Amino acid sequence: MRRGLVVLYLLSLMLLAGCLSPTTAGWGQGDGEVKVDFSIESTSATSSLGDEKESFDQLLPVGCNETRVLDNGGSPVKFTGYMAASHFYETHDQLNGAKELDLAVTVSVAIKSMSMNEAVSVDGEQIPRVQVKNWNLPLYPETGAGNIDLDEVDMDSSSKWFVLGLIPTTENILYGMQALGEWHQPIQIEGYLVDTNKSITAGYYSSYHEVNDNCEMKIGQNNIESVYLMVTSIKFEDSVITSNGGSSDEWVLGDVPMLGRGGFIMFLLIAGIGGAVTMFMLSKIAVAKGASHSMEVLVGKKAMAAVSRVKSDMKQARSAGMKSSTQRNAEARQDASTEAKKEGVKPAKKQTVDSPSLAGFDLDSALQSGPSESITSEFGSKSSSAVATTEAKNIASQATSIPQSVTQQRSIPVSSAVNVSSVTTAQSSVISNTEPTASKRSHFSSSVPRSSKPQQQPQKKVVKKRATKKAQQPEPETWTESKQETTNSPEEEEEFSDFSF
């Protein structure tokens, strides 16, 4: 929305400055150009606005003589009134009827006849409004809806009109005609009618044309006059267009009342650029204030005051000549590089973290060497539902080997005893002693069954049959009785060995 308003504003300024004025034919003898050699005695014109280049010779200008009669030469004829419509020609369409002197016309205008003072005072509903549908023929426009329809103007109409096909006499007049692009303004056009000393045709001078005492063109009974006019000057309410462009009130394309063209351009630059810079600064200040307010809400006033104190301290430190750690490190590196260059020593390159460990790494030998660990069992295999690593297997083997060695060491002195019961008791004691040792050093992996053979007694899974060489573990009661027998066996031997009693 804002961009659209900006574009509309710029277009309005350009229109006021005359940058969007209507285009018209050029001056010269090339394509799309018209050139007129005007002279009171005889005038010639060349036009390239049609299908082919056309030349018009021996055109006689008709003006107002001293007796206020139209005659060859004399003073220019005046057409005064209120301009209601205009049309500019860059080319002429000969297929739709443009012919003869139509090809030399660059602008056509429709003017309601009245005095200059009356034209200046026209306002409101008095403004004549003409809707132009088609204006292929310079002297015969096709008009439609509006408070004035030029096609229907006749002797019964209450208003009188001029329809003029304007032919510029100089280059300044040609380019000054761009002022006619603004409708609804008082105007007075001065120039000469065209006579060819030939048969009377529409648009040319004829004997029924008349002027008043001010050399202003009169309008006949049909309340409309359509003629060709070789223009020498154009007057507006506050400016004028002359043949040589030397008037002090000369109209200039892009001229603005009071300011002028140069003043308007300067005003546009100052107001536009200065306003843009001012708006940018104001928006920046507003954003900064909004950010500070949000920060104050988030962290509090005390934190904001602390931040401001830190900023002021930093500024004071900088003004005092203190340097930050980053600046000191940068200066140190620069000094080191400078000294290294002076000594001719290249600075050491930075090494990455992984460079020492990768110094002796050989990719080929690593690829050729086999795995350092044995292959583990797959997860979810038939033998196990967990992955058995090498460390787990080693711990399990150590747990199984310890009871065997302990059993062998403790079974040697017991086997040399004479009493058979003592041997049995020793074996049972060895079994009882090895059980807690095995339980302390056992690993969770030892509980995994190592063979698929069913055990004879499921309730005795804790006992390691390999460690006890398949000796059956006595019941707890039997172990208690055997313990008592073992403790009482020396006394019984003493009693039976002593026969003195």
Mean pLDDT for the chain overall: 75
Radius of gyration of the chain (CA): 61
How far apart are alpha carbons 418 and 435 in whole angstroms? Answer: 26
Please name the amino acid found at residue 106. Answer: T
- Do 250 and 242 contact (CB within 8 A), yes or no? yes
pLDDT in tens, 342-372: 777 665 555 544 444 444 555 555 555 555 4
The secondary structure of the chain in percent helix, strand, coil, rounded to multiples of 5, reads: 40, 20, 40
Say if pTM beats, i.e. exceeds, 0.75: no
Centre a 10 Å sphere on the Cβ of residue 296 and count the other Cβ atoms it contains: 13
| 118: Cβ contacts below 8 Å, ≥ 6 apart | 82
Torsion of CA 258, 260, 263, 268, to 10 degrees: 90
Q: Residue 377 carries which DSSP code? A: P
Above pLDDT 70, what percent of the chain?
63
How far apart are alpha carbons 120 and 338 in whole angstroms? Answer: 85
Q: What pLDDT does 409 receive?
A: 47
The DSSP line for 290-312 is HHHHHHHHHH-HHHHHHHHHHHH
- Do 58 and 196 contact (CB within 8 A), yes or no? yes
pLDDT at 469 over 60: no
Residue entry with tokens 């139209």: 70
How far apart are alpha carbons 386 and 366 in whole angstroms? Answer: 29
pLDDT in tens, 232-282: 999 999 899 999 988 888 988 776 666 666 777 787 788 888 888 888 899
SS3 assignment, position 186: strand
Token pair in block for residue 280:
């940018």
Closest CA to 469 of 403, 415, 422, 414: 403
- Do 176 and 249 contact (CB within 8 A), yes or no? no
pLDDT at 493 over 60: no
The beta strands (E) that lie in 185-235 are given as 185-195, 224-235
pLDDT at 404 over 70: no
How far apart are alpha carbons 407 and 465 in whole angstroms? Answer: 12
Q: What pLDDT does 240 receive?
A: 94
Closest CA to 115 of 214, 193, 183: 214
pLDDT in tens, 319-334: 887 877 788 888 888 8
Q: What pLDDT does 454 receive?
A: 47
Q: What pLDDT does 191 receive?
A: 97
